Amino acid sequence: MRVCWFDDFRLGVAADNFIYDVSPVLDLLPPPVYPAAPGDALIAHLARIRPAIEKLLPSAPKLMRSAVKLRSPVGNPSKIIGTPVNYLKHVEEVAAQRHVFTEARKGSITDQGLFLKSASGLIGCDEPVRVRFPERRTDHEIELGVVIGRPCANVSESEALSYVAGYSIALDMVVRGSEDRSFRKSIDTYSVLGPWLVTAEEISDPDNLNLEISVNGVTKQRSNTRFMILSVARQIAWASAWYTLWPGDIIMTGTCEGVAQVLPGDTMHCTIDGIGSMDVAVAAAEPGAIHNQWERAGAPAH
């Protein structure tokens, strides 16, 4: 199943170039309380309401995919976790282009550790990445996005994949510079997730998926997740050894070689096997504007 949020935060299921509006099932979610538990309420209860979604689908209103605006398929992650230098050829790329990757750290992934991105920078694929500092270089990094489905801490590698709700295409955008990696990757709109969440049972092997990004029709990055240094399961196990992972938490699993600059006016076309494809525009920042999908659209319309 391909689950999405669209327009004014309607809940949808994507199939055959259509988005089916299944928003009525949101009434089955527990009423919000304060203080709320960490994590995303929809992801936390997705397994419970999925039978109701499947029952509603045959009669659900449907809209053409091109007629809707897709939001991030995860509305409220407690955190976005990044895995650095997880493809050997990207490690080599960084070493060979020190003039570009001036902030590059030495050491292996485990030496460097995971990093966190602010959840406030998360957007969906139909919202533009806005270049905040045009005098500096902003780069694209296509990655497999892994969405956690239930709370976990100190899970084993053998059990790790059982905690996955699903997968999405992720763009881990970054502005180059000398500041801390998390700081430069947490800019508004610099975390893109989409086009939808493909539930875990549809991806039999997340460690063997082709991924590709082109900019204005020119291929920039192309690889396969089998070339990741750390597998998806190992990344989940490692992250859960340091943090409790909550429903909706996102792991961006690292990028391959071919990282390149984007400029306002560019269009990034991203594809991952088993998930689909998405086009993401690049635009100039709007001074003083708020670029958080929830703040601009208001509360979800259930």
> For residue range 4-16, what is the model confidence (pLDDT) as tens digits?
999 999 999 999 9
Q: pLDDT by residue (tens digit) across 173-222?
A: 999 999 999 999 999 999 999 999 999 999 999 999 999 999 999 999 99
Note every long-range contact of 176-181, with CB atoms under 8 Å and residues 24 or more positions apart, other chains counting: 176/100, 176/101, 176/102, 176/103, 176/136, 176/137, 176/138, 176/139, 177/102, 177/103, 177/136, 178/102, 178/103, 179/103, 181/82, 181/84, 181/103, 181/105, 181/115
Q: Is residue 288 over pLDDT 90?
A: no
The yes-or-no verdict on residue 35 having pLDDT over 70 is yes
Q: Are 227 and 256 in contact (CB under 8 A)?
A: yes
pLDDT confidence of 55, banded at 50, 70, 90? very high
Checking if the pLDDT of 145 tops 80, the result is yes
CA atoms within 13 A on the CB side of 249: 25
The two most distant CA atoms of the chain are separated, in Å, by: 57
So what's the pLDDT on residue 92? 78
* Global confidence as pTM: 0.94
For residue 296, pLDDT beyond 60: no
Residues of the chain above pLDDT 90, percent: 84
pLDDT at 293: 67
In the prediction, which pLDDT does 302 show?
A: 43
Mean pLDDT (the chain, rounded) = 93
Residue 290: its pLDDT value, please? 77
Residues found in the chain: 302
Closest among 214, 232, 250 to 160, alpha carbons compared: 232
Can you name the CATH fold of 80-286? Fumarylacetoacetate hydrolase; domain 2 (3.90.850)
Question: Is-contact 103 181, C-beta < 8 A?
Answer: yes
Domain boundaries, the chain: 2-67, 80-286
Residue 83 and residue 253 in contact, taking contact as beta carbons nearer than 8 Å:
yes
What is the C-alpha to C-alpha distance for residues 250 and 147, in angstroms, rounded to an integer? 5
d(CA 215, CA 213) in angstroms, rounded, equals 7
DSSP string, 170-184: EEE-EE-SSS-HHHH
For the ranges 29-33, 64-68, 276-280, the lowest mean pLDDT is seen at: 29-33
Looking at residue 294, what is its pLDDT? 60
Q: Using the predicted structure, report yes or no on whether residue 300 has a pLDDT greater than 60.
A: no
